[in-house]
């Protein structure tokens, strides 16, 4: 067998594969003998059919199979041995390849077109400058964060008069069609969060009411949720008659969540003993908000880096070959007019893949299995509060880790997250970042603009 390469362009070539009978005859004969051993025909014992008859029946099909096998194996070996970084797969060249006549010929010639990836000339350094946008912490962000803190560390107090968001305890009593307490009807002690009442006319009835007051309403209409209403009444949602009835709710207790006072006690409770003044508290709040916004800045940075690296890296592609490969590999599902409209998006994605592969190779970026295990172990370890000194607990945790590693979808997601972090850290440590502080509105606009590029 002879395989030669003829370059047809800077990034394309044609492979010529010549196969003669010496290349396949021995394996074809062995395959025919295997057919003979398995053959069963009238007049002959199993496995004793004459080889001449087997050849007459199967030889041409077997030769075709062996030739195709030789083609596949030798093309793959040629690609590996010559370290060809191909785009797509080799495509049969129908114009140059004569029809394979297995009935009359013993020697065959095939031609395959190939296209390969260009060499990427790129080195990450501080000579490459990229904007890094930080979101400015404004007063609303600080106020929202502080209000959340006050809510989290607040307390529940008893109240005399209902206000918005209070929780009310009382007895629900089923009423009859005349609005009177139904004899033998449902009676149930219930808790009701007033902010969950959807019907405003009913919510208004509760506002300003006090202990001992009674309010008549239809819970299903008020809550607009059969499951919530059934839970409140202590019945199943299938109990339609009781679910749709009117009820009298007599208030026995009003509970209100009181936000924590904004003082040193809250500061220390939230952040520790070192935060003992208004100034330190405000600095800590701003620091935490800035840290929480950093992932957004990093995501926008990654988009800017991708655009920047694609802009400064000259990448030529074998467009004609790629278009042909896309059409043939999609087996008629992709039409030529669709290809033309989508080709720009495809090549943009391909250019970034080539750049990313170059970066990964040059910087030895790799996500190891042990790193994925660590993520899973740390997550479940913190959730279960596993004591490292408790051998049984540690053993149980390792069992969970091993089980999770079998979930290819989940491990793939963790792998991609770790890979993105490594790539982001590389860019932040090697490129020159020009920091710019913008408002949240300006940042949102920038993110939207780059998404549309």
Rounded CA separation 267/281 (Å): 6
CA angle 73, 79, 82 (to 5 degrees): 130
Structure-block tokens of residue 372: 């994925």
Q: Which CATH number fits domain 155-258: 3.30.450.20, 3.40.50.150, 1.10.287.130, 3.10.50.30?
A: 3.10.50.30
pLDDT of residue 34: 85
Chain length of the chain: 453
Rounded CA separation 58/41 (Å): 14
Q: Tell me the average confidence (pLDDT) per consecutive run of 10 residues in the chain, 453 residues long.
A: 93 95 88 82 78 83 90 94 93 90 86 95 96 96 96 94 95 94 94 94 96 95 92 89 93 96 94 92 96 96 96 94 92 87 93 96 96 95 89 92 95 96 97 97 94 79
Quick check: 64 and 31 in contact, CB under 8 A?
A: no
The neighbour count for residue 204, using CB atoms within 10 Å, is: 10
Give the pairing of strands 129-135 and 432-438.
parallel
What does the DSSP assignment read for 236-294? -TT-HHHHTS-EEEEEEEEEEEEPPPSSHHHHHHHH-TT--SHHHHHHHHHHHHHHHHH
Boundaries of every domain in the chain: 2-115, 155-258, 274-451
Is CATH 3.30.70.1050 the right assignment for the domain spanning 2-115?
yes
Structure-block tokens of residue 269: 């409770």
pLDDT of residue 322: 95
């Amino acid at each position: 067998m002879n395989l030669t390469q003829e370059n047809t362009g800077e990034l394309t070539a044609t492979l010529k594969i010549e196969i003669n009978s010496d290349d396949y005859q021995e394996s074809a004969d062995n395959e025919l003998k295997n057919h003979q051993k398995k053959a069963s025909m009238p007049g002959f014992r199993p496995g004793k059919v004459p080889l001449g008859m087997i050849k007459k029946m199967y030889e041409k099909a077997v030769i075709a199979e062996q030739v195709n096998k030789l083609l596949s194996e030798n093309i793959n070996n040629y690609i590996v041995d010559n370290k060809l970084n191909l785009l797509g797969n080799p495509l049969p060249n129908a114009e140059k390849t004569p029809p394979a006549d297995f009935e009359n010929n013993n020697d065959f010639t095939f031609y395959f077109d190939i296209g390969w990836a260009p060499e990427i000339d790129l080195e990450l350094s501080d000579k490459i400058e990229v904007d890094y946008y930080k979101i400015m912490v404004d007063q609303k962000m600080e106020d929202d964060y502080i209000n959340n803190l006050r809510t989290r560390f607040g307390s529940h107090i008893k109240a005399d008069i209902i206000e918005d968001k209070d929780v009310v305890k009382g007895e629900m009593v089923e009423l009859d069609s005349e609005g009177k307490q139904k004899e033998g009807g449902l009676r149930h002690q219930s808790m009701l969060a007033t902010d969950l009442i959807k019907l405003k006319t009913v919510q208004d009835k509760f506002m300003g009411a006090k202990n001992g007051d009674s309010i008549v309403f239809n819970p299903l209409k008020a809550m607009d949720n059969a499951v919530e209403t059934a839970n409140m009444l202590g019945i199943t949602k299938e109990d339609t008659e009781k679910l749709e009835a009117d009820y009298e709710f007599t208030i026995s207790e009003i509970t209100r969540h009181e936000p924590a006072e904004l003082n040193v006690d809250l500061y220390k409770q939230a952040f520790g003993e070192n935060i003992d003044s208004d100034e330190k508290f405000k600095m800590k709040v701003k620091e935490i908000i800035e840290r929480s916004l950093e992932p957004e800045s990093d995501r926008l940075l990654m988009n800017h880096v991708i655009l920047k690296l694609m802009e400064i890296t000259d990448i030529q592609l074998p467009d004609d070959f790629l278009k042909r490969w896309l059409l043939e590999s999609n087996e008629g599902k992709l039409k030529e007019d669709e290809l033309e409209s989508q080709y720009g998006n495809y090549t943009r994605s391909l250019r970034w893949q080539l750049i990313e592969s170059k970066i990964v190779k040059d910087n030895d970026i790799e996500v190891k299995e042990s790193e994925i295990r660590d993520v899973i172990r740390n997550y479940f370890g913190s959730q279960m509060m596993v004591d490292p000194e408790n051998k049984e607990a540690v053993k149980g945790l390792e069992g969970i880790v091993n089980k999770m590693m079998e979930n290819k979808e989940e491990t793939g997601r963790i792998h991609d997250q770790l890979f993105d972090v490594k790539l982001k850290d590389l860019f932040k440590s090697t490129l020159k970042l020009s920091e710019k502080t913008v408002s949240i509105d300006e940042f949102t606009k920038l993110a939207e603009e780059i998404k549309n590029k």
